[in-house]
Amino acid sequence: MWIPHIFLGLFIVIVELTRKKYFLVDLLTIINLVTFISFVIVPLVLPTMLLDSNYSSSVDVWAPREITQEENIQAGLLAFLFYSVFITAFSLTSSKMKLRFFHFAFGPDNIKNAYRVGVLLLGFAVVALSILVISEGGISDFFKTRSRLYFSSDQNIRQGTSPVAFLSNFLPLSLFASFLLWGIKKDSLLPQKKILVSTLFYLAFFLSILMCFTRGGRFLLFMYIATFPLASSVMQKKKGKVSGKILLIAVAAVLIMIYGDALFRMLVYDYDLALGLALNNPNNKSVYAFYTFLSNFAFPYLDTIRNIRYPYDHHFFEDLVLFPFYYVPRQLIFIDLPSTSTEINTLRVHGSFDKGGMPTDILSYGLINAGVVGIVMCSFLFGLLVKTVNNFLTSINSYSSAILYSGFIIIVGFFVIYFDPHHFIRPYFYFWFGLGCLYVSRRFNWSNK
C-alpha cells in the first residue's frame, strides 16, 4: 500500500540529484523537500505516530479515524500524478523565460526610491503599533492579548473590540521594510546614511520579530528569519557545496517547528508554569520531537484523504474566478459569494469553523474544484510558474535583489501545502503591497521630487 509513496520519493530524489542547478538551494529544491516530507515521509510514519498512545498532537483531533488501504493508494497515486505533471511542465518551460519581478526594484536609478519606500513602510508600522499599544493600555497588555489570539483553543482569551484594531494589518509592513533596509545596508548603496540605515534596519527587524509573535506564529517566524541567510547564500552562488547559512536555515526550521509552540507560550503566559509544562511534557522523547516536526506537514496528506471521499462534489474554481469580489465590502456586493476552497476544506475536515480554517494543499485544491483534472491543471500551471521564477536566479547580482527573491521563493515554495488564492494574498499582503510601492516609486520616480 506504500508503493506509490515510495516511487514518488525515488522520483523526487532522482530529479534533485540529476537536474542542472545554478545553486545548491533554489525554488525547486524547496518544493522537492516540502513534497517529499508531506507526501512521502508523512504517509510512511503517520500510522505509527497515530497508534502511539503515549504521544498526542493536534493531528489526533482532525485525522480521519480510519484510512483504508484503497484511500492510501489513491492519495499516493494522486501525489505521484501531481509531481509528474509539475516536473514535466517545469522541464518543458524555456530557460529563457524569466519572471522579471524584481528588476524594477533595484535598478541603478531606484536606490533612493527603495530607501524612501522602506522608511515609509516602517513609519506606517511604527505609527500603527503605537496607536494599538496605547489603546490596549501598554506594551505588556498588547503583547499578551494579541499573542494569545494565536492559541485560539486556550482559555482566558480576551477578544479585542477596539475601533483601531484594523491597524494591526499595517504591522507586517515592517517585514518588507526590513528586507529593503537590509539590502541597502549590505550593498552599501547609501554610504552617507550608513548609520541611519543600520539603525532603521535593526528597528524594523525588532518590530518584525514582535509581529511574528503576535500575528503569525512559528511558521511566519521561520519564513522571516530564513529569508536573510538564504539571501546571503544566493549571493555566494555556492553550487554543490553546503554553506553554513543553509545549515543554519535547516537547524532553525527544525527547532522552531518542534519547540516554537512552547517558546510562544512561555513568552505570552506565566513563564514558570509554561516552562514546567514543557519540561514535563510526555512528548519530549527524541522520537516524539520527530513526530512533532512531521505533524506540521501532515495536513496535506490527510486533507487529500478527506477530499477523495467527495469524488463528485466539484466547485470549478468559483473562488478563483470571483477572487477580487472577496476583498470588496459585502455591503457593496449584490450577489452571494460561494464558499472558498479553504472554507469547503475546513468543513470537510472539522465539520465547522470552530477550530479555525484548514487551508488547501495543491492536491486538495484540485480535487475540490475539478477532481483529477483539477490536479493536472494546477500542477501544470504551477510547474510553469516555478520554472519562470527559478530562471531569475541567474540575474541576481546584489543583496538588495537577493533578499526580495529569497522572500518570494520561500512563499512560492510552500504553495504545495498552501495552495489557495486567498492564502496567497492575505498572509503575504505586506510583500505584494511593498512590491507595489516599489513599482509606483519607480514609475513616478519619487527620488526626483
391-404 tens-digit pLDDT = 887 777 788 888 88
Highest mean pLDDT among 147-156, 188-197, 211-220: 188-197
The reported pLDDT for the residue numbered 428 is 87
* Rama region for 20: left / alpha / beta (φ>0; ψ in -120 to 50; rest): beta
45-58 tens-digit pLDDT = 887 776 655 556 65
Of 63, 171, 207, 182, nearest to 114 by C-alpha is 182
Give the sign of the dihedral formed by CA 88, CA 92, CA 96, CA 100: negative
The mean pLDDT of 79-92, rounded to a whole number, is: 95
Sorting pLDDT into bands at 50, 70 and 90, what band is 365? very high
As given in the structure block, the three cell numbers for residue 264 are 510562544
The DSSP call for residue 117 is H
pTM of the model: 0.82
The reported pLDDT for the residue numbered 90 is 93
Burial class of residue 318, CB neighbours in 10 A (0-12, 13-18, 19+)? middle
288-302 tens-digit pLDDT = 667 777 777 888 998
Using CA atoms, how far residue 417 sits from 35, 111, 129, 414, in Å, is: 8, 35, 31, 6
How far apart are alpha carbons 76 and 84 in whole angstroms? Answer: 12
Q: Which residues contact 304 (CB under 8 A, 6 or more apart)?
A: 75, 78, 79, 361, 363, 364, 367
How far apart are alpha carbons 168 and 171 in whole angstroms? Answer: 5
404-417 tens-digit pLDDT = 888 999 999 989 99
The mean pLDDT of 132-139, rounded to a whole number, is: 76
Of 72, 4, 82, nearest to 419 by C-alpha is 82
Burial class of residue 308, CB neighbours in 10 A (0-12, 13-18, 19+)? buried
- Residue 383 pLDDT > 90: yes
The reported pLDDT for the residue numbered 152 is 41
3 state SS of 396: coil
Sorting pLDDT into bands at 50, 70 and 90, what band is 142? low
Report the range of poorest mean pLDDT among 94-98, 194-198, 303-307. 94-98
Mean pLDDT of the chain: 77
CA 312 distance to own-chain centroid: 30
Report the range of poorest mean pLDDT among 87-101, 187-201, 375-389. 87-101
3 state SS of 136: helix
**% of the chain residues with pLDDT over 70:** 70
The mean pLDDT of 274-279, rounded to a whole number, is: 48
Sorting pLDDT into bands at 50, 70 and 90, what band is 323? confident
The reported pLDDT for the residue numbered 160 is 45
Highest mean pLDDT among 101-110, 163-172, 213-222: 163-172
Q: How many CA atoms lie within 13 A of 111 on its CB side?
A: 17
More confident residue, 283 or 171: 171
- Residue 8 pLDDT > 90: yes
The mean pLDDT of 192-205, rounded to a whole number, is: 90
Sorting pLDDT into bands at 50, 70 and 90, what band is 144? low
Three-state SS for 165-177 is HHHHHHCCHHHHH
How far apart are alpha carbons 406 and 392 in whole angstroms? Answer: 11
More confident residue, 216 or 211: 211
17-37 tens-digit pLDDT = 998 877 777 899 999 999 999
The reported pLDDT for the residue numbered 243 is 55
The reported pLDDT for the residue numbered 398 is 80
- Residue 97 pLDDT > 70: no
The mean pLDDT of 37-42, rounded to a whole number, is: 93
